[in-house]
Amino acid sequence: MRILVVEDEIHLAEALATLLKKQNYTADAVYNGEDGLDYAMSNIYDVIVLDLMLPKMSGLDVIKNMRREGNDTPVIMLTAKGEISDKIRGLDSGADDYLAKPFNTDELLARIRALGRRRGEVVQPNAMTFGDIELDTRTLTLSCGGRSIKLTLKESELLEYFMANKNTVLSKEMIIEKLWGFDSAAEANHVEVYVSFLRKKLKFVGSRTVINTVRGVGYSLK
């Protein structure tokens, strides 16, 4: 999963991003509401961790704008305030969950996993299945029958993206935005290289699952 952290306390934002990366998530951090909204509207994130009190634009205004524009990315709202009224305002504005600071990081991770499952992208907390393959997103292990192989983080993210969008054609542009970010300098050949790596590893474990090339459009998992 790709997660966006919008938090104006830079040390906290960076600590959360580091924590998420250690869990094999892809994480980006921004430090004000305007940047948070810009990044959120790229539609490349699976979950957004959003602070309520932000400079330039409040977390409430960020989520109101997101929902007004049809962006339904799950949002966990963070705030230093624990009053019921703040929780209600956040949820009424479109937040999916709520945590008051200080919070336990294990609880935050559990809530992120729950939102991922609710969105239908994760079958179990750490595992995804498609056809005859299983991907353990915690250990970055691809398995088929009795054979398994370790993936790199980027390979795992790419396979996870394919598995979450099974039988859907994903363009190279969509893959670049999802895996590298919408402002990345990554190019189409980066996608081609990682697709090639994944195809070899699928073949290694003896899987019948293939990554089809749809000429002029992109790729799909079959």
What is residue 115's predicted lDDT score, i.e. its pLDDT?
Answer: 85
CA distance 144 to 117: 22
pLDDT tens string 62-79? 999 999 988 889 999 988
Backbone φ/ψ region at 43: left (φ over 0), alpha (ψ -120 to 50), beta: left
pLDDT tens string 97-122? 888 888 899 999 999 988 876 665 44
Domain encompassing residue 58: 2-118
Question: Is 194 found in the same domain as 174?
Answer: yes
Question: Is 100 found in the same domain as 153?
Answer: no
Nearest to 24 by CA among 2, 49, 57, 54: 2
Tell me how many helices (H) and strands (E) the chain has.
8, 11
For the cut 80, the answer to whether the pLDDT of residue 208 exceeds it is: yes
Question: Roughly what angle, to the nearest 10 degrees, separates helices 188-204 and 172-180?
Answer: 90
Which of 90, 118, 146 is the last residue before a domain boundary?
118
What is residue 123's predicted lDDT score, i.e. its pLDDT?
Answer: 40
Domain containing residue 211: CATH number:
1.10.10.10
Question: Is 89 found in the same domain as 48?
Answer: yes
Nearest to 62 by CA among 150, 53, 44: 53
Question: Roughly what angle, to the nearest 10 degrees, separates helices 153-164 and 172-180?
Answer: 130
Percent of the chain with pLDDT over 90: 51
CA distance 214 to 24: 29
Question: Is 131 found in the same domain as 111?
Answer: no
Question: Is 133 found in the same domain as 114?
Answer: no
Question: Is 114 found in the same domain as 63?
Answer: yes
Contact 32, 56 (CB under 8 A): yes
Question: Is 10 found in the same domain as 80?
Answer: yes
Question: Is 105 found in the same domain as 15?
Answer: yes
If one counts the domains in the chain, the total is: 2
pLDDT tens string 146-199? 999 999 989 999 999 999 888 889 999 989 988 888 777 888 889 999 999 999
Question: Mean pLDDT over residues 76-85, rounded?
Answer: 77
Which of 96, 118, 140 is the last residue before a domain boundary?
118
DSSP structure string for 101-122: SS--HHHHHHHHHHHHHHTTS-
Contact 94, 127 (CB under 8 A): no
Question: Is 185 found in the same domain as 163?
Answer: yes
Question: Is 147 found in the same domain as 81?
Answer: no
Domain containing residue 79: CATH number:
3.40.50.2300
CA distance 92 to 90: 5
Question: Is 110 found in the same domain as 134?
Answer: no
Question: Is 12 found in the same domain as 93?
Answer: yes
Contact 170, 220 (CB under 8 A): yes
What is residue 198's predicted lDDT score, i.e. its pLDDT?
Answer: 95
What is residue 152's predicted lDDT score, i.e. its pLDDT?
Answer: 92
Contact 49, 186 (CB under 8 A): no
Which of 60, 86, 118 is the last residue before a domain boundary?
118
What is residue 83's predicted lDDT score, i.e. its pLDDT?
Answer: 67
Q: What is the DSSP letter of 220?
A: E
What is residue 29's predicted lDDT score, i.e. its pLDDT?
Answer: 94
